[in-house]
Structure 1
Amino acid sequence: MQLVVAGSSLCAQVTAAALASTGNEVLLYIDQPMHFHALQKGHSLWREPGLDEFILEQITAGRLKISLNYAPTATTQRIFLAMAPNQQDEAVMLIKKLATYPKADVLLINQSTFPVGTTEYLEALLRTTSLQKNDGSTTNRVAVSLPDLMQEGSAIAGFTRPNHLLLGCANDWAEAEVREILRPFNRRRDNLMVMTPREAEFTKLAITGMLATRLSFMNDMANLADSLQVDIERVRQGVGADPRIGEQYLYPGCGFGGLSFSRDVMSLAHSLESSGVGSDLLEEVLAINERQKELLFRKLWHYFNTNLKGRTFAIWGAAFKPGSDRIDNAPVLRLLQALWAQGAKIKIHDPKALPALLEWAGEREDLELCETPYEALKEADALLLVTEWKNYWTPDFEQIKATLKQPVILDGRNIYDPTYIRSLGFTYFGVGR
């Protein structure tokens, strides 16, 4: 089957490679020229595990082509639209291209996180160019919603072995086409949940809102646990053991980040506000998260009696989550700004995100990017763990203690055992511990 994937997002690149891997001829239409040459060589700018090799394999096999141009033809056009949320104008331009072939059947599969109702709007634009075919029948020009449910760090598995798929569709021809395209990824059981396009778009945002709510709720509980002298880890395990609740997204920490996650929550809040319904809950979820990003700073501020000027602090982790090189809305950004405002110097290590951090912060005398975690500890008054990369989980604590000027660890992700760390002579601060 000949397919087109339009967009430069992580979703677009994973979708294109996955569809090509099952034998389809896929054109990845790149709308941002700066990505073109890198992708031609199989280099995804998203640094997703396994994605570079996946893309290169499909390009080498001839099943995946990368192009800055897309020229519709008179044959059936099956197009996955996987653009960034701010690219609605580019989506409309694509629809206008399709208008030059009004007798061709068009299936537009919208994966983009646009405002609720956008898929219906795009279909209306498609239908304005619908004409009768030579046999007297009317062309099928349908837009459906297939929301992007991928998670950075496991995006390939999320597409090829999905737990569930949301399909917003009210057309039998379009549903049959989508089912056939996704059949190789939907064999264990039928994971496709069919609903209206608006319902699918809204469900995607509601899922994100629910996950963010769980995170912020547990962060609130962790802060209360601190004042009650309760270990939030025991509480988390007890709450997660209840089958009505489950264990996912109950880990307290120093706040969540990520471009898509944060943006989707804000998009949901905006949708509720613009509809006149409003949502005090979501507004509070976002407010709790922003306060939580300053948690480690507040603990540090109190420990050093409000005097941080001239001190040096080591930070492990800058990416908004392990496995990513991105720092979009990452907790470390708020932490850095707060520490710099008090005249502190930062030495920081991250396995992947230092280039992005340097681009964000620029060259500064109060910021040192370190090649190893232990290099960041030299002359530092305390260690702050912000991102729970696997290589931070079991470090050499004796070396940490010998290198730090003071044996102080602030664990923003609760990955260490407080009792054990304290038995080694450290002053330990966790989140609700």
Structure 2
Amino acid sequence: MKVTIVGTGYVGLVTGACLAEIGNDVFCVDVDPRKIEILNNGGVPIHEPGLQEMLRRTRAAGRIQFSTDVKASVEHGDIQFIAVGTPPDEDGSADLQYVLAAARNIGKYSNGFKVIVDKSTVPVGTALQVGRVVAEELKARGLDGSDKHGFSVVSNPEFLKEGAAVDDFMRPDRIVIGIDDDHAGQLAREKMKRLYAPFNRNHERTLYMDVRSAEFTKYAANAMLATRISFMNDLSNLADTVGADIEAVRRGIGSDPRIGYHFLYAGCGYGGSCFPKDVQALAQTARENGHTLRILEAVEAVNDDQKEVLVNKIVRRMGEDLRGRTFAVWGLAFKPNTDDMREASSRRMIEALLKRGASVQAYDPVARDEAERVFALDLADRAEDMKRLHFVKTQQDALTNADALVIVTEWKEFKSPDFAHLKGALKAPVIFDGRNLYEPEAMAELGIDYYAIGRPHVELDSNGSRH
């Protein structure tokens, strides 16, 4: 099938590559010529495991192309995926300007019946707005919107985890499709069914529903996951106070099949391109409709506070004035297997350390370049602070002569370090662990002063007994 993807970010690029991988003829368009140049030269503008190899295969087979030619992209695809960004507006609502601009282009250049698929995460009612914009453009061209020049707007939200997006697309848990129950909708349903048939060979994964319910489903899913994270983070802070171990609590409640273990890990707050903005957008949608999602507003507040937890632990241990102190930081991206720095906990934490006069030696195996770009913007008016932020090439370089190690992202290579080397490289054996990678008792036995999230701080006496 001929498919057009509007936008070459995480969602658009993964969607385009995976649809090309199963044999479709895919045209990816973007208004950013820099991205298109990178892609046409064999590169990938984002880090996503498996994506570059897939693009190499599909490009060599002639099943995917990249261009800034909007007219050609609309003429190419019977199915037009809108996969552009929907950043948060000032009030927290999703900014739909890029979605509606893509819709306007489709209406302006449409050369036949088009299935227009909202792949971007958009609030309830967006499909209706997209349809109106397309209809306006067709009318301006003197077209009546009949089958020959008609369209149907479909909601097909993505459920991709950054760092595992390719696998998520190729082996989906579910495929949600919201579609109108009219003549155009039936035509669109047949095309979408054919497009996704390869993913339903073993069993049917597609859930058909009305458009508004599909739009709502995406936000509800991310809101639920964010809620589980903030719930555990809130409990972890109480565990710190009462002397409980949040890891033991996690195992105790996660073993209940009604609860499960997913997204029950305490840490230093969630970030990324989805959870923060989707929680805000859903809460704003509620306010616009006269409702208050009290749980969701608490989820956001807890997450905001959680990004200060590591700094608070550092200040309690080392004092408010951190001038002359140097901190090694392992992990900058908001999660492992990505270079995405959006709403990353490392940003707030590092800025807070620098504000208190500390120096930072930061390492991330993938996100270094993106982190340098982001911090240059974040600290644009804090030149003196920026001078004390150093991005290093290895995790060992970060440790050299640092007063303490701070772990922010749970990359695999951080899970079993050489602790003897770590102790020797640091001025003092102190670790502040925002992802609970190690066991407090084991750290105490190694002579490491270890502070985790919601886990007891263990000290051993001269006889090796805990106290």
State the TM bucket, normalised to the shorter chain.
Answer: over 0.9
Residue 87 (structure 2) pairs with residue 65 (structure 1):
no
TM-score, normalised to structure 2, is 0.88
Residue in 2 that maps onto 1:78: 79
Q: Which residue is 2:344 aligned to?
A: 330
Cα drift, residue 341 of structure 1? 1.5
Helix, strand or coil for the counterpart of 2:122?
coil
State the secondary structure of the residue aligned to 1:326. Answer: coil
Aligned length: 431
> Match of 2:179?
169
From 392, 400, 420, the equivalent of 1:378 is: 400
> Shift of the alpha carbon at 1:426?
0.9
Q: Does 1:48 align with 2:45?
A: no
Matched, 1:124 2:136: no
The aligned counterpart of 1:13 is 13
Q: Deviations over 1:382-401 (max 9, x none)?
A: 11111010000000001111
User: Hey, what's the Cα distance between the residues in 2 that align with 1:212 and 1:403?
Assistant: 37
**TM-aligned CA deviation for residue 158 of structure 1:** 1.2
> In structure 2, what is the Cα distance between the partners aligned to 1:423 and 1:74?
67
Which residue of 1 is the match for residue 379 of structure 2?
none
Cα deviation per residue 1:257-284 (whole Å; 9 max; x = unaligned)? 1122211111111111111102222222
Per-residue deviation at 1:137? 6.1
Q: Which runs of 5+ in 1 are unaligned?
A: none
Structure-1 separation of matches of 2:285 and 2:37: 37
C-alpha deviations, 1:243-266, integer Å up to 9, x for none? 111110000001111122211111
Structure 1 distance, partners of 2:311, 2:108, is 57
Q: Corresponding residue for 1:283?
A: 297
Q: Aligned Cα RMSD in Å?
A: 2.0
**Structure 1 residue matching 2:172: 3-state secondary structure:** coil
Amino acid at match of 1:175: R
Structure 1 residue 377 displacement after superposition: 1.2
SS at match of 2:123: coil
2:114 is matched with: 106
Cα 1:99–1:405 shift into 2, 3 Å: closer
Pick closer, same or farther for the CA change 1:401–1:179 going to 2, 3 Å. same
Distance 1:138 1:57 in 2: 35
Aligned to 2:225, which of 206, 211, 232?
Answer: 211
1:42–1:53 Cα contact (<8 Å) kept:
no
1:122 positional shift: 1.4
- Segments of 5+ residues of structure 2 without an aligned counterpart are 88-94, 377-382, 456-467
Instruction: Give the drift of 1:318.
Output: 0.7
SS in 2 for 1:59: helix
Shift in CA distance, 71/423, structure 1 to aligned 2, threshold 3 Å: same
- 1:144 lines up with 2:154 in the alignment: yes
Of the three residues 404, 410, 432, the one matched with 1:388 is: 410
| Mapping of residues 302-321 of structure 1, within 5 Å | 302-321=316-335
Work out the CA distance in 2 between the residues paired with 1:146 and 1:411: 38
Q: Return the letter of the residue paired with 1:7.
A: G
Residue number in structure 1 paired with 2:103 = 95
Question: What is the identity percentage for the equivalent residue pairs of Structure 1 and Structure 2?
Answer: 37
1:350 aligns with 2:364: yes
Which residue type is aligned with residue 391 of structure 2? L
User: Aligned partners of 2:424, 2:109: CA distance in 1, in Å?
Assistant: 71
The answer to which of 243-252 and 353-362 deviates more is 353-362
Q: Is the 8 A contact 2:403 2:430 kept in 1?
A: yes
The question of whether the paired residues in 1 share the 8 Å contact of 2:236 and 2:453 is answered with: yes
Secondary structure of 1:71's aligned partner? helix
SS at match of 2:387: coil
Contact 1:145-1:200 at 8 Å conserved across structures: yes
